[in-house]
Structure 1
Amino acid sequence: MTIRSTGGQVAAYAWLVFALLNFVDLFVGITGDPEYSLTTFTIAFLLLLGCGIAYTVGLRPAIIGDDDGVTVRNPLRDVRAPWAAIRNIEGKNAVTVRFTGPDGTDVETRAWVHQTSPRAQAKAESRAEKQARKNQGAGLDLRGRTPTAFAAQQLNELRDRHRPRAKSGAPDRAAAAKQAETARGTVAWSIPAVAALAVPLAAVIVALILSLVG
């Protein structure tokens, strides 16, 4: 299961297409003859920096649930938590995952995907409640109607399916507790994401310094 921001992806791909067309115009020449000057390369580095932002903010963020655990991929950092290490998953203003960290203490991470303001969440729940009353009655759990709550619901269902079970099919609490004792999550910087921003930014700074010196 992979959860992404559709709007973020659309915006990121739109920028990448825009940047590609500008690269072609700069170095091949669509609207005029290409000019290989310091200004041209500075503009190119700025476009690359924009591509780095599009990648880290629009394309990279995701919440990925699989058989072993959940991965929260934010713009610059990756969080990986086995199901046994997870203490709680909530979906309010954002999807939050609380888990046992590398040192054994509880760590809470907030997903970049599906963040929303309290006002927007309240409006969404109000609209869902009106629709439910109109169509099926008021006795429904409406929390899953908001994107963050629905994402958290999906993750919790996936987590429940991967809990240890006894022969009877009931949850095996003893086995779950034993797994939780050693299960640990990890938090790490994403080298490709950092490089996607740092390299073009450094190039822009160098180009600006050269233009000032020259």
Structure 2
Amino acid sequence: MSAGVFPKAAPGARTFRSGGIRFCGWAWMVFAVLNLADLAWRGRDIASAVAAAVMLLGCGIAYAVALRPRIVADDEAVRFHNLLRDLHLPWGTVDRFEGGDAVYAYVGEERHRAFVLQTSPRARAKQELKARREDKKLPEPVAEYMRGRTATDFTVEQLRELATEHKDAEQTPVTSTWAWPAIIALAAPALLTAVTIIIAST
């Protein structure tokens, strides 16, 4: 299961992330820091400035795409922290959760999609094949429970359980807000990259 559940995210909250994508994000951060240190030590020309700006842009993308996206469920609501926007979905307002290629929350006729834990049909098939190969290593009851399920499926199951526990919660509106840290993390290095490229080309 590539989804991590972190009960300490907030009092009474559970956080669902993609472990593999998060690892890739941190791997890029380490790579970028090492390269930026090298550029700071040896770089003295405009090409080094362009390279540093591109590295910073890569860090912004890694944060927005790999490190930030998550699903947080607490006693009040479930929150989808997507690339550039945050969705606050009160328990009493959500009609149901569905899985498949992503985690979906349905509110009336509206369908809200979580960016984290998305999977393509090809990736899903690969996960199922891998699970079948590992069946022999697990006790039969465990293997049967795991068979054919992805991290997305497990997350949906847990969200459904939490929704059942909070079925009597007050119905309040869904709210969507801009994720300004992610926007700044992308916009600032993108602007810096554009400026350094323009300077380098003149």
Q: What TM-score bracket applies, with the shorter chain setting the length?
A: 0.7 to 0.9
Identity within the alignment, %: 41
2:23 aligns to what?
10
Give, in whole Å, the separation in 1 of the partners of 2:142 and 2:45: 67
Matched, 1:47 2:52: no
2:10 aligns to what?
none
Matched, 1:201 2:190: yes
Structure index of larger Rg: 1
1:143·1:150 contact (CA, 8 Å) conserved in 2? no
The structure 1 residue matched to 2:157, chosen from 153, 164, 181, is 153
Equivalences, count: 186
2:199 aligns to what?
210
How far apart are residue 118 of structure 1 and its match?
A: 2.6
Give, in whole Å, the separation in 2 of the partners of 1:76 and 1:196: 10
Residue type of the partner of 1:186?
T
TM-score where L is the length of structure 1: 0.77
Deviations 1:11-43 (A, max 9, x none): 11111111111111111x2xxxx2332222111
* Compared CA separation, residues 120 and 39, structure 1 to 2 (3 A): closer
Unaligned residue ranges in structure 2 (runs of 5+): 1-13
DSSP-derived class of the 2:95 partner: strand
1:26 aligns to what?
39
Give, in whole Å, the separation in 2 of the partners of 1:128 and 1:23: 40
Give, in whole Å, the separation in 2 of the partners of 1:148 and 1:92: 7
1:85·1:184 contact (CA, 8 Å) conserved in 2? yes
Unaligned residue ranges in structure 1 (runs of 5+): 101-105, 165-175
Alpha-carbon RMSD across the aligned residues, in angstroms, is 2.6
Residue type of the partner of 2:124?
Q
